[in-house]
């Protein structure tokens, strides 16, 4: 390899690094591969009429069978009325990468009270149990078609363990509304936000606030359930649908123990049921 070839290769590697680490700017369209955990909650009856009009809010996949979102998004519906869609970044389109699951059950945090005026601020988190794992085919013979590599383009995200200092800059993903027309933007959007000091926002252990980095960075609107990522872990979810204000977010490290307890217990129950079915089939074949 000549010296010129080495210089070209060096330039290419530096360019690639800078391009891959530039961060998400406000309003940038996000590709699904950049947020493989992101999901959208849909109202089934409307989705059957036109794809996209049943969109309710954003959710985040935390394991192969559970997702979390803001409780205020789903509290007025039954689980049977909802479905969750992963693998696509445009809510108005559907392709072969789309992973569609029914919602089997919804778990609301004990502190959440939907009739309270402070419902957006107290315990505003819901764990959604999917009808079947994202690794399992929904076909009739799905019990024989479970695979760890199925739907590999969809991946869960871990919940953060630690509370960050104010002024920390993180990334936010959500489907949002145009702040001028209030119309839904079909593409998944991303932006960078900075965490605000608690005394400038709310005196709450379970809520934090974040704002845009400058006046040229428009706030995302209509972003209920949107994902707030810090260091590739899920730090918060949007809890309010207010444009041009400081964003309010559920502090997930505060609720992590409850979230994991609910989701793990349901996984164990499902695995036990799965094992019982396999044993039953084996007995019938004897």
Mean pLDDT over 59-74 rounds to: 97
Q: Could you read off the pLDDT of 8-53 as tens digits, one per residue? A: 433 333 333 333 333 333 568 887 778 999 999 999 999 999 999 9
Q: Could you read off the pLDDT of 240-281 as tens digits, one per residue? A: 766 666 788 999 999 999 999 999 866 544 444 444 444 444
Q: How far is CA 103 from CA 33, 34, 255, in A?
A: 24, 25, 21
The residue assigned the tokens 């590697």 is: 13
Whether the pLDDT of residue 155 is over 90: the answer is: yes
pTM above 0.75? yes
Q: Is-contact 90 187, C-beta < 8 A?
A: yes
Domain locations in the chain as residue ranges: 28-260
Q: Tell me the C-alpha distance between 132 and 206, whole Å.
A: 31
For domain 28-260, give the fold. Answer: Thrombin, subunit H (2.40.10)
Residues 6+ apart with CB under 8 A from 212: 26, 191, 193, 194, 218, 219
Mean pLDDT over 104-132 rounds to: 89
């Amino acid at each position: 390899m000549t010296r010129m070839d080495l210089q070209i290769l060096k330039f290419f590697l530096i360019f690639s690094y800078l391009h891959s680490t530039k961060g998400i700017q406000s309003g940038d369209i996000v590709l699904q591969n950049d947020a493989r955990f992101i999901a959208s909650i849909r109202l089934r009856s409307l989705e059957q009429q036109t794809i996209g009009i049943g969109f309710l809010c954003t959710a985040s996949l935390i394991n192969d069978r559970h997702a979390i979102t803001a409780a205020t998004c789903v509290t007025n519906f039954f689980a049977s009325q909802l479905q969750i869609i992963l693998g696509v970044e445009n809510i108005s389109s559907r392709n072969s990468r789309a992973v569609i699951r029914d919602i089997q059950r919804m778990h609301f945090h004990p502190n959440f009270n939907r009739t309270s005026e402070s419902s957006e601020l107290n315990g505003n988190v819901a764990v959604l149990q999917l009808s079947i794992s994202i690794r399992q085919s929904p076909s009739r013979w799905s019990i024989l078609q479970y695979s760890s590599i199925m739907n590999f383009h969809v991946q869960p995200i871990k919940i953060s363990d630690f509370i960050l200092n104010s002024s920390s800059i993180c990334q936010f993903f959500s489907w949002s509304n145009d702040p001028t027309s209030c119309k839904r933007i079909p593409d998944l959007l991303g932006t960078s936000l900075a965490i605000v000091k608690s005394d400038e926002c709310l005196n709450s252990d379970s809520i934090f606030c974040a704002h845009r980095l400058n006046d040229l960075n428009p706030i995302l609107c209509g972003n209920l359930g949107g994902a707030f990522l810090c260091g590739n872990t899920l730090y918060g979810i949007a809890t309010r649908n207010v444009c041009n204000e400081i964003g309010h977010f559920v502090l997930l490290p505060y609720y992590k123990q409850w979230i994991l307890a609910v989701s793990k217990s349901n996984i164990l129950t499902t695995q036990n049921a799965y094992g019982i079915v396999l044993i039953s089939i084996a007995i019938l074949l004897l």
